[in-house]
């Protein structure tokens, strides 16, 4: 479809974010210049500063956007059913959400070291919120006698690491569909925390 | 102890590797110049080329050195006992080995994208060897009726991702010792693959 809607300024913002995400994922934040991002978008370097004050803000916006999307989807779901049903929903959601955004996942994990201290604290707070939902499910399951684990905080981080690891090997053209991958991981998560 | 042994050329090689690893971990491979590495070591930029032909070779040497150390330790251990005993030994070893080398682990995972295709293939081959040991333990456990899982290859990658995740949160000054962390993870791994 021909691009007819939206003024230049309405469409350039998302294109700046897309270009920055792609370049950061490919080369790393520190190796990418504002000039390269401008060239990728097809605007003058000076014009980029209409959309973002600097590269740090761009990185922070990308990471915060990723976490906002994650937490927004969680707010719209979850919270209903038994701890086992909630854990299954969380597991399948985590795999699906992350497999759909490989560049954002990669940049969000890799580039934490390049955030300013305040920006790092803000992203850490959002990650903590996401982890807290899973830890709440695990605690409820332990209280109900359905789950057992030595440490709910470590179990939370272990399950998230196990699930996020799928992004390092999954290929859409491979032998398994996303649905099948979800089922294989759900079987493992269920056992990991079983009473 | 005062540094008395070793000529200049015998000691500079390891210092080049240490400096490169530290700088790559902190800033990312693409953002670090040979000039910066030379400055960190305290030699002229030109002198660095006595130790490495280029930055790509330096990255590859670091990653191969990490995998050689890993596989060397595995060759000296493992392989004895029941699948359950071997899985416990592997789990505890993986955590201990990786917690002792946070910079090498970080660079080895983050900078795969910056390896040349031949170097990437070589590192992938070494990683495959390591994964194959764990997959062999899981297969033996399944054959013995001790373990059960839908897919031994995915279970291998899931267990490794879960265990390596410990490097993202563990702090030596925290509430748990490495021994205690190993025990918490072993409890989860054991259950993840249980029949």
The pLDDT profile of chain B, 195 residues, written as one tens digit per residue, is 444 444 455 678 889 999 999 999 988 898 899 999 999 999 998 888 888 899 999 999 999 999 999 999 999 986 789 999 999 999 999 999 999 999 999 999 889 989 999 999 999 999 999 999 999 999 999 999 999 999 999 999 999 999 999 999 999 888 999 999 999 999 999 999 999
Using CA coordinates, name the residue in chain B closest to A27: B30
Q: What is the Cα–Cα distance from A135 to A155, expressed in whole angstroms? A: 8
Share of chain A above pLDDT 90, in %: 77
Classify the C-alpha dihedral B60-B64-B67-B69 as positive or negative.
Answer: negative
- A55-192 has which CATH code? 1.10.357.10
CA atoms of B192 and A191, how far apart (whole Å): 5
Helix (H, G, I), strand (E, B) or coil at B50: coil
Residue ranges of chain B whose CB lies within 8 Å of a chain A CB: 26-31, 110, 113-114, 149-151, 154-155, 157-162, 164-166, 168-169, 181, 183-185, 187-188, 191-194
Q: Closest Cα partner for A59 from A115, A19, A100, A13?
A: A115
- The Cα–Cα gap between B129 and B126 comes to 5
pLDDT in tens, A19-71: 999 999 988 898 899 999 999 999 998 888 888 899 999 999 999 999 999 99
Helices first, then strands: H and E counts in chain B: 10, 0
Whether the per-residue pLDDT at A114 is higher than 70: the answer is yes
The set of residues, in sequence order, having a beta carbon less than 8 Å from that of A148 and lying 6+ positions away, is: A142, A193, A194, A195
Q: Is the distance from CB of B29 to CB of B59 less than 8 angstroms?
A: yes
Which residues are within 8 A (CB) of A164 and not within 5 positions of it... i.e. 6 or more apart?
A94, A98, A105, A109, B161
Of A149, A158, A192, the CB nearest to B165: A158
Distance CA B92, CA B185 (A): 8
Which are the contacts of A121, defined by CB distance < 8 A and separation ≥ 6? none
Strand-pairing partners, residue A124, are: none
The alpha carbon of residue A160 and the mean position of all alpha carbons in its chain are separated, in whole angstroms, by 11
pLDDT at B109: 87
**How much is the pLDDT for A2?**
44
Check if the beta carbon of residue A118 is closer than 8 Å to that of residue A110.
no
Which tens digits make up the pLDDT trace of A162-182? 999 999 999 988 899 999 999
Planar angle of CA B171, B169, A23, nearest 5 degrees: 125
- The domain over range A7-52 is classified in CATH as 1.10.10.60: yes
Interchain CB distance below 8 Å, B184 and A26: no
User: How is chain B split into domains, by residue range?
Assistant: 7-52, 55-192
> In chain A, which residues have their Cβ closer than 8 Å to the Cβ of B149?
187-188
| Confidence (pLDDT) at B10 | 64
The nearest alpha carbon in chain B to A190 belongs to B192
Beta-carbon separation of B188 and A26 below 8 A: no
Write the ipTM.
0.90
Partners of A194 on chain B (C-beta within 8 Å) are 191
Residue matched to tokens 């030595």 = A150
Cα diameter, chain A:
61
Q: Are B48 and B12 in contact, with CB atoms under 8 Å apart? A: no
Q: Specify which of A1-10, A131-140, B1-10 reaches the highest per-range mean pLDDT.
A: A131-140
Rounded Cα gap, residues B167 and B64, in angstroms: 20
SS3 B70: helix
Of the candidates B76, B74, B97, B78, the one whose C-alpha atom is nearest the C-alpha of residue B89 is B78
Residue B95: name the closest of B103, B80, B105 by CA: B105
Residues in A touching B103 (Cβ below 8 Å): none
pLDDT bracket for residue A10 (50, 70, 90): low
Helix axis angle, A152-164 to A117-143, nearest 10°: 110
Three-state DSSP string of A136-183: HHHHHHHHCCCECCCCHHHHHHHHHHHHHCHHHHCCCCCCCCHHHHHH
- On the CB side of A138, how many CA atoms lie within 13 Å of its CA? 25
| Residue-averaged pLDDT of chain A | 92
What pLDDT, on a 0 to 100 scale, did the predictor assign at position A9? 55
* pLDDT tens per residue, range A63-92: 999 999 999 999 998 678 999 999 999 999
Alpha-helical runs (H) found in A82-116:
83-99, 102-110
Q: Which residues are paired to A194 by β-bridges?
A: A147
């Amino acid at each position: 479809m021909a691009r007819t809607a939206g003024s230049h300024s309405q469409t350039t913002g998302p294109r700046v974010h897309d270009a920055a995400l792609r370049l950061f994922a490919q080369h790393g934040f520190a190796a990418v210049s504002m000039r390269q991002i401008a060239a990728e978008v097809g605007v003058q370097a000076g014009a980029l500063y209409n959309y973002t004050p600097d590269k740090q803000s761009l990185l922070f916006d990308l990471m915060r956007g990723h976490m906002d999307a994650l937490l927004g989807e969680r707010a719209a779901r979850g919270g209903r059913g038994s701890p086992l049903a909630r854990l299954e929903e969380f597991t399948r959601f985590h795999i699906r959400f992350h497999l759909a955004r490989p560049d954002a996942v990669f940049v969000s994990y890799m580039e934490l070291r390049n955030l300013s201290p305040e920006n790092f604290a803000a992203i850490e707070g959002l990650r903590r919120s996401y982890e807290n939902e899973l830890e709440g499910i695990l605690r409820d399951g332990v209280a109900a006698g359905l789950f057992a684990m030595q440490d709910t905080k470590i179990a939370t981080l272990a399950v998230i690491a196990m699930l996020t690891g799928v992004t390092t090997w999954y290929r859409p053209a491979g032998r398994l569909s996303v649905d099948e991958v979800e089922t294989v991981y759900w079987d493992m998560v269920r056992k990991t925390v079983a009473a």
